[in-house]
Amino acid sequence: MLEEVAGTKVFNGERSREGYRLNRMAMSLTEAANRAAFVADETGYARRMGLDDTEIDLVRRRDWKAMIDAGGSIYLLIKIAGALGVPLYEVGAQTAGMTLEQFMAKRKGR
Amino acid sequence: MGRIVGGVGSSHAPSFGPVYDKGQQKEPMWAPLFDGYVPVRAWLEALRPDLFIVVYNDHANQFFFNAYPTLALGAADVYPQADEGWGKRDLPDMRGDAAFSWHLARSLVEDEFDPTICQEMAVDHGVMSFMPMLTDTRWPVPIVPLAVNVIQHPVPTARRLYKLGAALRHAIESYPQDIRVVVMGTGGLSHQLQGTRFGFVNQDWDNEFLDRLESDPEPLTALSHHDWMERGGTEGIEMINWLPMRSALGPKVKRVARTYHAPMITGYGLLALEPA
């Protein structure tokens, strides 16, 4: 099974299995009513969607890197970020171990 | 019989949506890309196509990992826009051609490709982000969407998708009606949306890919998934979606247009070809 490319874990079956509940919750946010319910009560919504305490905490802390490590697919995580008003660049930069400002400064210097 | 009259390879990106919707195509950051679509759209109109076959990928919008199809064929007369998590754009549903889709389904299965056949299918930015630059948004030309899994590995090999192009051609040429078909492939080019290489763009590889796809595509099928992602980023694996378009056109092609622009965290490409 393809596991890693240039230091990045590949989203494969093992990771999909591990992150299933997190990704499923994210998928539910493709409906406007669910987005509203999630934003109104993140923890309650996540619990109703079957997330465990550790996963709920990752979402609460906006720890995108840890969500990736827990099997989150970037295509699903950006739905959580979207509902919470967090831009893609901020999510991506954090998964690379940077703040958005650091990432933008690095890009500028490229 | 049906006939392939053209092929288009294009990137797709959520960011195209707001640029188009807000009329920012002429802004300096975007003009080098969006200007490239203008002559391609004129060329497409002159071709008078009856159908666009669009090989693309869904981004966990129509499909989820409860049942993620490796290959999914739309067989509907209408394809609504998916809500990807931030609401829909103000665009009408896309039109389909279910009769052709069922012909394609039969022909593909006879040729040993076995797609999931979808009579209800929403399409996401994988189709709708670039399409407004190529045609009128009243969608005068129906589409047949063909979704490839490139987001949950294992994904199909480059060789498999190259062979799919030949099967598309066979299906088009065995259609009883004289229809004119444009085959599209969309994804990429290089980009990586997460991990230590977030923001990775490889302009050399993107341009090499465009060169080779046009002039000598078959050796690209020898590349492994690891090769594609090392060169083009983990999400750059989408580039393999262009291979069916190219192989459907046959060995010799004539280039109509080519554009490349990498203003942000993705290499954007556009290639228009005619069978020679």
User: What tokens does A55 get?
Assistant: 């996963």
Angle at B44 between CA B169 and CA B189, to 5 degrees: 70
Contacts of A23 in chain B (CB under 8 A): 60, 64-65
- Using the Cβ of A33 and the Cβ atoms of chain B, whether some distance falls under 8 Å is answered with no
Active site residues of B: 125, 191
Which candidate, B175, B201, B184, places its Cα nearest to that of B263?
A: B201
d(CA B96, CA B93): 10
Of B117, B100, B272, the C-alpha closest to B179 is B100
Q: Is A93 on the interface with B (CB under 8 A)?
A: yes
Those residues with Cβ within 8 angstroms of residue A59's Cβ, 6 or more apart along the chain or in another chain? A22, A42, A46, A51, A67, A80
Look at residue A107 and tell me whether its pLDDT is greater than 90.
no
Cα of B59 to nearest chain A Cα, Å: 6
Rounded-to-integer distance, Cα A29 and Cα A33, Å: 8
User: Do A74 and B193 lie within an 8 Å CB cutoff?
Assistant: yes
Q: What tens digit of pLDDT does each residue of B151-208 get? A: 999 999 999 999 999 999 999 999 999 999 999 999 999 999 999 999 999 999 999 9
The residue written with tokens 């979207």 in the block is A82
Secondary structure (H, E, C), chain A = CCCEECCEECCEHHHHHHCHHHHHHHHHCCCHHHHHHHHHCHHHHHHHCCCCHHHHHHHHCCCHHHHHHCCCCHHHHHHHHHHHCCCHHHHHHHHCCCCHHHHHHHHHCC
Between chain A and chain B, how many beta carbons pairs sit less than 8 Å apart? Answer: 109
Residue B154 confidence (pLDDT): 98
Chain A partners of B60 at a C-beta cutoff of 8 Å?
23, 26-27, 73, 75-76, 79
Q: Which chain A residue has its CA at the smallest distance from B84's CA?
A: A30
Reading the block at residue B51, the tokens are 């159908």
* Binary contact (A16, B265; C-beta < 8 A): no
> Nearest-CA residue of chain B relative to A65?
B195
Over the stretch A55-71, which tens digit does the pLDDT of each residue have?
999 999 999 999 999 99
Interface predicted TM-score (ipTM): 0.96
Q: Are B231 and B202 in contact (CB under 8 A)?
A: yes
Residue B266's pLDDT is: 97
Q: What percent of chain B has pLDDT above 90?
A: 100
Tell me the CATH number for domain A8-108: 1.10.700.10
Q: How far apart are CA A48 and CA B175, in angstroms?
A: 50
Half-sphere exposure of B46 (CA within 13 A, CB side): 8
The structural domains of chain B, ordered by start, are 3-275 (3.40.830.10)
CA distances from A46 to A8, B154, B161 (A): 27, 29, 38
Q: Which residues of A touch B225 (CB under 8 A)?
A: 2
pLDDT at A110: 57
State the Cα–Cα distance between residues A106 and A98, nearest whole angstrom: 10
**Rounded Cα gap, residues A80 and A39, in angstroms:** 10
pTM above 0.90, yes or no: yes
Supply the pLDDT for residue A106: 87
Using a pLDDT cut of 70, give the percent of chain B over it: 100
Tell me, yes or no, if A47 comes closer than 8 A to chain B by beta carbon.
no
**Smallest Cα distance from B234 to chain A, Å:** 7
- Written as six digits, the tokens of B173 are 């040429």
Please judge whether A79 and B84 are an interchain contact, meaning their C-beta atoms are less than 8 angstroms apart. yes
Return the residue of A nearest to B200 by Cα: A107
pLDDT for the residue numbered B225: 98
- CB A1 to CB B154 under 8 A? yes
List residues of B whose CB lies inside 8 A of any A CB: 59-61, 64-66, 82-87, 151-154, 192-199, 225-226, 229-230, 234-235, 265
